Amino acid sequence: MYYSKEDEILIDDAWQDLKRSCDKICKGDDDRNLINRAFFLAKEAHQGVRRRSGEPYLLHPIAVAKIVIEEIGLGVKSVVAALLHDVVEDTDYTIEDIERIFGQKIASMVDGLTKMSGVFNADTSAQAEYFRKVLLTLSDDVRVILIKIADRLHNMRTLGYMPKDKQIKITGETIHLFAPLAYRLGLFPIKSELEDLCMKYRFPDEYNEIQRKIEETEPERQQYINKFCAPIHAILQKNGIEYEISGRVKSVYSIWSKMQRKQISFEEVYDLFAIRIVFKALPFPSEKTQCWQIYSSITDIYAPKPDRLRDWISMPKANGYEALHSTVMGNDGIWVEVQIRTQRMEDIADRGFAAHWKYKHATLSQNEDAFDNWLSKIRDALSGSTENAVEFLDNFKLSLYTSEITVFTPKGEQRKLPFGATALDFAYDIHTKIGNKAIGAKINHKIEPVTKQINSGDQIEIITADNASPKPEWIDIVITTKAKQAIASYLKREREDNISHGLAIFEEKLAQFNITLSGSVLRKVMQAYGCKYKDELYSKIGAGIISLDNIEKIIKSSSASKILKFWKLWRDSKPSDGNEEGSDTTEINTNDDQFAIASCCNPLPGDSVVGFKDPMTGKIIVHKASCNELNRLASLFGKNIIRDQIRWSQHRAVSYLSTIEIRGIDRMGLLLEISRIVSEDFSINIREVSIRSHDGIFEGNISIYVQDADSLNAIMDKLRSIKGLERVKRSIDNKE
């Protein structure tokens, strides 16, 4: 099967466009010939194959290669690997063929990009295992991950051709892993586009509405930006600075996230845009000094907001981002964020890791190796992982989006850790042996528990003892991947030693009474000591928790009668209405054991919901469509997501507990007015009211029973009409 004449025209147009982009990275004919050979091999390998959209499949690797050049800034080998990234997976070509034709390095990159398949652990998600194997390529070549992100970006740009269930799975993967990974690698524009595309397919109505409002307010916003920037233009020109000023609007996803988090309208998002000043740095003085000089000039015009100054030049982010951010009071009493950076900083902000390598040897910045330090930690975590793939990914993700703090060793060495880290995280960051032996810490010369949270600027010294060892509760206290894995690894080794020791003790004890170890004997002992698994029994025996003093009596006692119960979960389904062939819609009945309401987001009838079939129990857990935990589950167990087949039951009057957060100006009779609206106007039963008042401001929660989301929204709308109430919003545990 071959491509048609029209297909060939499309392919040739895309290929010629890619070759024009390649001109900027090719140093000679050898580079061009290498790319040409990769293109023609890919064309032969994918001949006649089409994507779900109907277009020639070859357009996909060409598009990925163009993203690699234009949007990430990689070189010739990366373009070749991008063109070949699906050849081994989808065709008869092997890695050995690629190595013979293109060499070992490109073959290694293609191998890393080839999707993993094979036998996975029975208790492990195949998707999560695949992600871990992809991330393991960080140990060899970070370019593989960058190309993988380019591949995901193009797939997201063409996601509209996929069915709805696939869209949920792919957007879940993207928002849970690929967008944070792009952020951590410094690819901020790609990270923002991935998030926007996820929202576009998951919440199209909200996406289109925000996009429409952004476009409608564009003329008014541009007029304001021009007015705000006029005096800045004048002073920068007066100082002879070569610069560009632009007004950047927040991404749709960023605006929506803020609206969801704070439960405010589009009109209440005051920081819709930021002013960015990018200037050409002079050889002298330093870039840092020049940024502060521009900041000083701007604050001569507009008053700054002291608590909104962000200096990421002195201490760049771990993804290499450098800039000076300040919020100033603009015209008409409007706060405006101003970002100041050099052209080098701008390139790194847009291209991340690739730009970092470009400038690495051209700067004397003490933070030039931020990427390398982070990669080194990730490689250590990947190579030392003792968890199953799902646990690994959950912990790995913590290292991606988390804000950072900078702390110091007793000798003044800087260490970057995630916000919320403890002294114990710091100990493991120094060395695993120090973490395992830690018993306390001196934080700013004051003795503190090793579990105490540390803050930016702290100087920390870890106190150790030879007989100390990790405690099981530590694993829930630390937040860094390295610390969690080190503790888990130690506890696992300790547990294995206990199991081996406990089994020996158990067999020796049975031999004393001439009892043969059998399944029935083991079940009796496990039941007597409240153990669910034999390893749990052996581990407790080995650790001295179980003594086996009355083992003979337990084994020789008569067996209690057992009743085995079997049951089947019946689905309440309605016949198809004829609009969708073969449709089978299940109604959510919370009295049915088949369903459970997710505690992370507590959806109400009327909320847009998605079901997740628990692989262990078979029960369908009902989440809000916007739930963060659902994104995590979709990224790991995409096949278990149920979207279009469930709906809320309309024939059951059930009350659901929901909590409303309120905040406002305190006054006499306010609580009485709130209670009257809820109890009298809506005849709603209030379960609990918790109000705190301080300095003339009150805030608190009202827990009430409602039948659906519409009822809750009606109550909140009525409460908002009360004079002095500043905030009325639904309390959501996972803070969507």
DSSP letter (8 states) at residue 678:
I
Cα 377 to chain center, whole Å? 18
Yes or no: say if 231 and 301 are a contact pair by the CB < 8 Å rule: yes
Kindly compute the dihedral angle of the four CA atoms of residues 12, 15, 20, 24, in this order, to the nearest 10 degrees: -170
Q: Which amino acid is at 724?
A: G
The pair of three-digit structure tokens given for residue 97, joined into one six-digit string: 């063929």
The count of other CB atoms within 10 Å of the CB of residue 538 is 23
Is 89 a catalytic site residue? yes
Whole-angstrom distance, CA of residue 35 vs CA of residue 46? 16
The SS3 call for residue 588 is strand
The SS3 call for residue 225 is helix
The pair of three-digit structure tokens given for residue 451, joined into one six-digit string: 């579990």
In degrees and rounded to multiples of 5, residue 342 shows phi and psi of: -85, 170
Whole-angstrom distance, CA of residue 20 vs CA of residue 66? 10
Cα 60 to chain center, whole Å? 26
Q: With 0-12 CB in 10 A as exposed, 13-18 as middle and 19+ as buried, what is 683? A: exposed
Choosing from 8, 12, 17, 89, the catalytic residue is 89
Yes or no: say if 535 and 492 are a contact pair by the CB < 8 Å rule: no
The count of other CB atoms within 10 Å of the CB of residue 230 is 11
Cα 236 to chain center, whole Å? 40
Q: With 0-12 CB in 10 A as exposed, 13-18 as middle and 19+ as buried, what is 688? A: exposed
Regarding beta strands 697-706 and 656-665, do their DSSP bridges make them parallel or antiparallel, or are they unpaired? antiparallel
The pair of three-digit structure tokens given for residue 687, joined into one six-digit string: 């379960």
The count of other CB atoms within 10 Å of the CB of residue 183 is 21
119: left (phi over 0), alpha (psi -120 to 50) or beta: beta
Whole-angstrom distance, CA of residue 551 vs CA of residue 538? 14
The SS3 call for residue 244 is strand
Q: Which of 534, 539, 513 is nearest to 523 (CA)?
A: 534
Whole-angstrom distance, CA of residue 268 vs CA of residue 599? 29
The count of other CB atoms within 10 Å of the CB of residue 45 is 20
Q: Which amino acid is at 674?
A: I
Q: Which of 244, 269, 243 is nearest to 255 (CA)?
A: 269
Q: What single string gives the DSSP state of each residue in 252-313?
A: HHHHHHHHHHHT--GGG----EEEEEEE---SSS-HHHHHHHHHHHHHTTS-B-GGG-EETT
Residues contacting 540, CB < 8 A, separation 6+: 498, 502, 529, 531, 546
Is 448 a catalytic site residue? no
Residues contacting 605, CB < 8 A, separation 6+: 588, 648, 649, 654, 656, 707, 708, 709
Regarding beta strands 404-408 and 310-311, do their DSSP bridges make them parallel or antiparallel, or are they unpaired? unpaired
The count of other CB atoms within 10 Å of the CB of residue 452 is 17
Choosing from 7, 55, 90, 140, the catalytic residue is 90
Whole-angstrom distance, CA of residue 57 vs CA of residue 52? 9
Q: Which amino acid is at 119?
A: V
- Residue the block writes with tokens 């129990």: 617
> So which residues are the catalytic ones?
89-90
